[in-house]
Chains A and B, each alone.
Chain A
Amino acid sequence: GQQVMQIPQYQHVQEGEDFTTYCNSSTTLSNIQWYKQRPGGHPVFLIQLVKSGEVKKQKRLTFQFGEAKKNSSLHITATQTTDVGTYFCAGPRGTSYGKLTFGQGTILTVHP
């Protein structure tokens, strides 16, 4: 079945350092989404990428979708303590847009 792998599982950074998490799918994706979950909270949608090679930015966050539409990355520049949480990528299962397969998530800790 479809698998979505995410690395690293954990990342500890000092405030001000950059952070990147990578997502790889076993199958080509029609789109990929990124979510953030704060400790004790629920996942919150960040962004959706649809086009091959697409790059989107949200302030200090940069999202990329690979040319083959099987991988993606999230890069945070100059991390802040407010960036703490778990970042998940997710892709649709087959052609069913509403069914998502999530990566295992990357837990980001930012030390002040």
Chain B
Amino acid sequence: DVKVTQSSRYLVKRTGEKVFLECVQDMDHENMFWYRQDPGLGLRLIYFSYDVKMKEKGDIPEGYSVSREKKERFSLILESASTNQTSMYLCASSDSESQRVHFGNGTRLTVT
């Protein structure tokens, strides 16, 4: 069974801090995604990656960057955390054939 692992379940950070959210998948999937989930807004795509070192902006990339140095790992970076980045962050992966997206358990980030 596919496993997508996010390094932290809960994080509390201060405004202005640099924040790293880590995600690892174990199924050799080409595609990896970062979403944020907010009440009433659903899941919104921040960035995705379709191969190592390849990345594409999603719908809300402002204030975020990503890194994919290895196929199994996709990191989301908040360069300077702000309170409006308080949210649930979900990492996901998929392979190009099945279209089925597999999610991690999420990281609930609070920026104070």
A and B part of one assembly: no
* B interface residues (Cβ-Cβ under 8 A, vs A): none
* A interface residues (Cβ-Cβ under 8 A, vs B): none
